[in-house]
Structures are given as C-alpha cells and as structure tokens.
Amino acid sequence: MTESNTPALWRNILPWPGPDAHKHQRGRLGVVSGPAWNTGAARLAARAGLRIGAGLVRILCPPGAAPVIAPTVTAIMIDEFLSPEALGRLADPLDAVVIGPAAGLEEETGYNLAALGRTGAALVVDADALTLFKDRPKALFACLDRDDVLTPHEGEFDRVFPNLLKHGRETAAWEAARVAGAVVVLKGRETIIASPDGRLRINPNGSPWLATAGSGDVLAGMIAGLIAQRMDSFEAASAAVWMHADAAERFGPGLIAEDLPELLPAVLRDLK
Ligand SMILES: NC(=O)C1=CN([C@@H]2O[C@H](COP(=O)(O)OP(=O)(O)OC[C@H]3O[C@@H](n4cnc5c(N)ncnc54)[C@H](O)[C@@H]3O)[C@@H](O)[C@H]2O)[C@@H](O)CC1
Ligand SMILES: Nc1ncnc2c1ncn2[C@@H]1O[C@H](COP(=O)(O)OP(=O)(O)O)[C@@H](O)[C@H]1O
C-alpha cells in the first residue's frame, strides 16, 4: 500500500507527555559521536532528539571527544566509552540510539553498531554506519531488528542496496526494507518511508532548503527522539520526515542545520 505522508496518518499518535510524565518515562535517547574533531553531527542529532521531546538525551563518545563536546552542550549529557562492549552497556538502558553521523569509516564503527544491535535500544542507522557496509550489506542487516531505521540518501542507499535504484525509488525502497528487515527512509526531494511489512509512504512537503550539510543528522535525531518516546518506528520516521521539511519551509532562505531543532517547537505546537 502506498500513501502520501500527510499528518492525518500520524498526528493522533504523536507522543505528548501525560500529567505524571517524568524525564525517564518520556524516553531515553543516545547519540554516538565521532572522534574529537567530528562531534558536530552527533550534537545536531542530539539537540533534535531533545527538541522533539525525548526526556533525556546522552551523547556517547569515544575517548578524547568529551572535552570538545562538554563546553557546547547543556541539557544533553555525555558518556565516554572505551570499547564496543562499553558502548553496549551504556546503551542498554536507552530506548533509542542514533549511530552513523560522522562516526568514521573505521571498522570500529561496525563493531559499535554490532554491540548496539545486541541491546534493547531501537537503532537509527545513518551516514558512515551505512557507507561502511558497502559490498557487505548482510553484515549490516545482521545487526538490525524490525524496529530499527536506516536513513540513507541516494548515495548511501546505492552503497548498501546496489542495483536497486534502477527499478525506481519506490520499488527500491520497498525491496530494501524487505531485505534489510528494517524501516528504510530513502531521503531526497520526495523522501520515501518503507516498512519491512510492505507499507510505503511518499513525503509530499519536501523542501530544497534542506539541501544543507547536517540536515540529515538532524532528521536521524528527530526519528530516534520519537521512537524513544515509544512511537512505532515506521510512524516515527513518517512524522519526523514531514516535520523536518515543514520546519525548513517555515525558515526558508539562509537555513542551516543548526536552525532546524529550534524550529521544532512551532511545528509541534501547530500539530497539537
Ligand atoms: N556537522 C558535521 O559534523 C557533519 C558531518 N557530516 C558527516 O561527514 C561525513 C562525510 O560526509 P560526506 O558528505 O562526504 O559523505 P556522503 O556519503 O554524504 O557523500 C559522499 C559522496 O556521495 C555522493 N552522493 C550521491 N548521492 C548523494 C546524495 N543524495 N546526497 C549527498 N551525496 C550524495 C556525493 O557524490 C558525495 O561526494 C559523514 O560522516 C557525515 O555524517 C555530514 O553529515 C555533514 C555535517
Ligand atoms: N532538493 C531537496 N528537496 C527536498 N529535500 C531535500 C533536498 N535535498 C536534500 N533534502 C533533504 O535534506 C536531508 C539531507 O540529508 P543528508 O544527505 O543525509 O545530509 P547530511 O549528511 O549533510 O546530514 C534529507 O532529509 C533530504 O531528504
């Protein structure tokens, strides 16, 4: 079934806090950072996850990155991990984790993903954590569950799912979700959200102002922030894609990725 991704599909299941909410109950999100000179992407994702309503957000960083991150965050917490096993232990109590933005193309990123795959947290896998698996996608799929989300742009999609795009974006996304056994968000002008059970949504409100570095990192944080709040992964991806574009259209000229999280309160208010 193919649908246009309009708010009517998911507006009534957005996660608003109840009167007894506390921060742990609102959802615990983790974002894996790259090394010291590559922490910006994780900070963008973390800020977006916090703004979309996750109650508690932690950046999980490799040795040496914490002193860079600490002066730039306030509500967001920081944990350092020294091994994939240590990352897994930090992630275990979390509801959702983003891995990939500026994570690096070293094997360590794959080991980190595998460790996260053994935790109970839902994963949003983006950027380097996709590119790393070029030519060996089965190793990526082995880390995934059906509530995990892959967020490739077309370049990343072609690395993980070679020869699929020639069948058209819809068929490609549909088949990718089936073989990966996870939700696939094929980004672009008309972003497609595909579920492993065969559902497909095409996003109608794409904004070219999103063609700016780091906007995909923000989207990954938004999706994971909604999943952390217990929204179904396919619905969370659908809602985040629409809200991301709506935020960009509201701002228009001059938009940079840093602006996107700050636009979310207005987007959320109008949806409420
Ligand atoms: N603030 C930050 O620290 C940022 C870090 N970023 C990170 O920087 C690293 C490298 O990013 P790159 O942009 O080089 O890697 P990409 O994989 O995005 O780009 C590599 C190549 O893919 C090709 N490509 C094909 N289709 C594409 C599409 N639809 N969109 C973009 N590229 C397409 C392009 O020719 C490009 O040269 C990644 O780890 C990424 O997560 C970026 O997310 C930007 C922001
Ligand atoms: N021309 C466009 N029209 C609509 N959306 C776009 C356009 N160009 C980029 N986007 C959106 O911007 C985001 C870019 O993500 P990505 O390529 O991962 O960037 P980055 O790696 O810099 O964060 C995606 O959500 C994509 O759908």
Nearest-angstrom CA–CA distance, 222 and 45: 7
Q: Which atom of ligand 1 is nearest to the CA of 156?
A: 17
pLDDT digits (tens, 9 = 90+) for 181-231: 999 999 999 999 999 999 999 999 999 999 999 999 999 999 999 999 999
Distances (CA, A) of 101 to 45, 201, 251, 271: 8, 24, 24, 28
Q: Which ligand is nearest to the CA of 31?
A: 1
- pTM exceeding the 0.90 threshold for the entire prediction: yes
If you average pLDDT over residues 1-7, what whole number do you get?
A: 95
Q: How far apart are CA 192 and CA 113, in angstroms?
A: 24
For tokens 């065969």, the residue is 198
Residue minimizing CA distance to atom 13 of ligand 1: 213
Domains of the chain: 23-144+209-271 (3.40.1190.20)
- For a ligand 2 pocket test, name from 43, 149, 159, 187 the mutation site with the most ligand atoms within 8 angstroms of its C-beta: 187
Q: What is the pLDDT of residue 1?
A: 82
Phi, psi (deg, nearest 5) at residue 159: -70, -40
* Phi, then psi, of 109 in degrees rounded to 5: -60, -40
* Ligand 1 pocket member 156 (CB < 6 A): yes
**Is a pLDDT exceeding 90 seen at residue 127?**
yes
In short, whether 204's Cβ falls inside 6 Å of ligand 2 is: no
Report the pLDDT averaged over residues 151-160. Answer: 98
- Residue 177 CB burial class (10 angstroms; 0-12, 13-18, ≥19): buried
In the predicted structure, residue 36 carries a pLDDT above the cut 90: yes
The pair of three-digit structure tokens given for residue 147, joined into one six-digit string: 């509530």
Q: Mind listing the pLDDT tens digit for each residue in 14-28?
A: 999 999 999 999 999
Task: Check whether 43 has a pLDDT greater than 90.
Answer: yes
Return all residues near 270 (Cβ < 8 A) that are at least 6 apart: none
Tell how far the Cα of 269 is from the centroid of ligand 1, in angstroms. 32
Q: Please check if 189 is assigned to a binding site.
A: yes
